[in-house]
Amino acid sequence: MQPTSFNDLKGKVCVITGGAGVLGSAMVKAIASVGTKIAIADINKEVAEKVAAEIAAESGSQVIGVEANVLDKESLEAAKAEINEKLGDIDVLINGAGGNSPKATTSVEQILEENLDNLDDTFYGLEMEGFDMVFALNFKGTLLPTMVFTKDMLKNKKGVVLNISSMNSYKPLTKIPAYSAAKASVNNFTEWLAVHLAKVGIRVNAIAPGFFITNQNRFLVMDEKTGNFSPRGQKIVDNTPMGKFGEPEDLQGTTLFLISDISSFITGIVVPVDGGYSAFGGV
């Protein structure tokens, strides 16, 4: 019989990359609340350990912080060995590390005829270094941890991968071409890998969060001086039918649903959690 609760997650082992971040730590709280053992694998070991200790104390679940760079296979292998030793075989992987860079962000939304003599603020002024960094972090940073952390799932013929995409993956937002294309590649890879692993018991899905104010986008959506929304931040709210930014906690239910056996026949999907943004045509 199909489970009707998240009880199957009790005692399982979940690794979450970037789990010390704003959205990741909200997911960790939800997963810890159902008794799952969690390893927060983050490049920032100090913050990972601090967040892990706080959530472990609150929830009573075993939560550890482990240093890992999602772009470095050796570092991931070392993290896996530590997780296996401390928590056991890995059952669930959440690929949460990701983000944008100002070096791959244009200052203007569109090129206007009157600005043709100053292209620095446009697509033509972007730095390849920014593109390389954003593509590496979001795409390779999903691919490599999946290669390393799903090995136990393959052995046990059971497991779940949850990738973190973005609204930009469906329709690119102005100014952030690298991030948008990189997140589109995460959706595509989610589908590809779901098919590849479907016969060995490993499900692969993704969440596409709408708009949440976090460290990586604050510079785009808030006016630092006034503390009000920037015109771009206001545009996002106006185009979100629920009329607000999301709270990190809004991702918790969908996370539990997709990593639990409750969704055992679901693989290869990307679920928007966006206050209706992707359903709205703007008029």
Does 24 sit near ligand NAD (CB under 6 A)?
yes
Helix (H, G, I), strand (E, B) or coil at 38: strand
Among 8, 33, 45, 71, binds ligand NAD (CB under 6 A): 71
Choice among 124, 170, 179, 277 that is catalytic: 179
Report the C-alpha gap between 94 and 207 in whole angstroms.
Answer: 10
Quote the least distance from Cβ 119 to ligand NAD, whole Å. Answer: 28
Report the C-alpha gap between 265 and 282 in whole angstroms.
Answer: 34
Report the C-alpha gap between 232 and 4 in whole angstroms.
Answer: 41
Does 214 sit near ligand NAD (CB under 6 A)?
yes
Beta-strand relationship, 63-67 and 202-209 = unpaired
Does 20 sit near ligand NAD (CB under 6 A)?
yes
Report the C-alpha gap between 91 and 198 in whole angstroms.
Answer: 15
Quote the least distance from Cβ 200 to ligand NAD, whole Å. Answer: 26
Choice between 130 and 141, CB closer to ligand NAD: 141
**Those residues with Cβ within 8 angstroms of residue 35's Cβ, 6 or more apart along the chain or in another chain:** 9, 10, 11, 61
- Which span sits near ligand NAD by CB under 6 A: 37-45, 115-123, 197-205, 265-273? 37-45
Does 92 sit near ligand NAD (CB under 6 A)?
no
Q: Which of residues 114-153 bind ligand NAD (CB under 6 A)?
A: 137, 141
Among 130, 209, 233, 272, binds ligand NAD (CB under 6 A): 209
Does 274 sit near ligand NAD (CB under 6 A)?
no
Q: Sign of the CA dihedral 243, 168, 196, 27?
A: negative
Quick check: is 277 catalytic?
A: no
Catalytic residues: 179
